[in-house]
Amino acid sequence: MDLKVTTLEGKSAGKVAVSEDVFGLEPRADILQRMVRYQLLKRQQGTHNAKKRSDITGSTAKIYRQKGTGNARHGSRKPGIFKGGAKAFGPIARSHAVDLPKKVRALALKHALSAKAKSDAIMVLDDAAAEAPKTKALLAKFAGLGLSNALIIGGNEIDGNFSKAASNIPMIDVLPVQGINVYDILRRDTLVLTKAAIAALEERFK
């Protein structure tokens, strides 16, 4: 399977061969859904916490006698029925993360790449580098390439000038190849890979 390679100036730079095992699979929505759910749940902080009865400051003495007052039977001011009392069945600090086998996570990334390839939403850049960290100049180049909502994946290291210039452009994300993930791939319209990123991905899934 061959993909066209272009430069930031929009000029053709030949073609690059990619593996059918990585970019040519039939995408499965169920695997992609499991991976996106895994990512979103894992990044939840889980720090929400409500006070329980043991956390409420107050006397433990019985507030009034058991019988004869005409009121309901209570032994404390701490239950949630009273103002300032505890929250019944409130949230507690916990991890929301779920388990997903490593092989399924790797397969999900392949399916995400294949989904973009199948929908012609992959662009291959010769290199992602800029001479100066100028957002306006980079924005003009993106406009020439038709990029307005894209995830750009570079090699093991991102060019500093390119990264700084792209950081001010909305709907454009730039990540090194180590940070490529299913959620970011699917949330952007176009996936832009450098030749270095493709070589790293091919090596990763070899």
State whether 86 and 109 are in the same domain.
no
Q: pLDDT grade, residue 94 (50/70/90)? A: very high
Listed residues 55, 74, 95: the one ending a domain: 95
Average pLDDT for residues 180-192, to the nearest whole number? Answer: 97
Task: Give pLDDT, residue 188.
Answer: 96
- Has residue 23 got a pLDDT over 90? yes
Q: How many helices (H) and strands (E) does the chain have?
A: 7, 6
Q: 40: burial class by Cβ within 10 Å (0-12, 13-18, 19+)?
A: exposed
pLDDT at 104: 97
pLDDT value, residue 15? 93
Residues 145 and 187 in one domain: yes
Number of domains in the chain: 2
Pair 78, 157 in one domain: no
Position 1 pLDDT exceeds 90: no
- With 0.95 as the threshold, say if the pTM is over it: no
Q: Which of 87, 82, 57, 80 is nearest to 71 (CA)?
A: 82
For strand 122-125 and strand 12-17, is the pairing parallel, antiparallel, or unpaired? unpaired
Q: Do 145 and 90 belong together in one domain?
A: no
CA 145 to chain CA mean position, Å: 25
Q: pLDDT tens-digit profile of 25-67? A: 999 999 999 999 999 999 999 999 999 999 999 888 999 999 9
Give the H/E segment covering residue 30.
helix 29-42
Together in a domain, 145 and 161: yes
Instruction: Tell whether the torsion through CA atoms of 78, 79, 80 and 83 is positive or negative.
Output: negative
Burial class (CB in 10 A: 0-12, 13-18, 19+), 70: exposed
Mean pLDDT, to the nearest integer, of 104-113?
Answer: 97
The CATH number for 8's domain is 3.40.1370.10
pLDDT band at 70 (very low <50, low <70, confident <90, very high): very high
φ, ψ of residue 61 in degrees (nearest 5): -70, 150
Domain shared by 52 and 111, yes or no: no
Q: What is the pLDDT of residue 191?
A: 97
**126 and 87, same structural domain?**
no
The domain of 126 spans 2-44+97-204
Q: Is the pLDDT of residue 97 over 90?
A: yes
- Whether residue 12 sits in one domain with residue 86: no
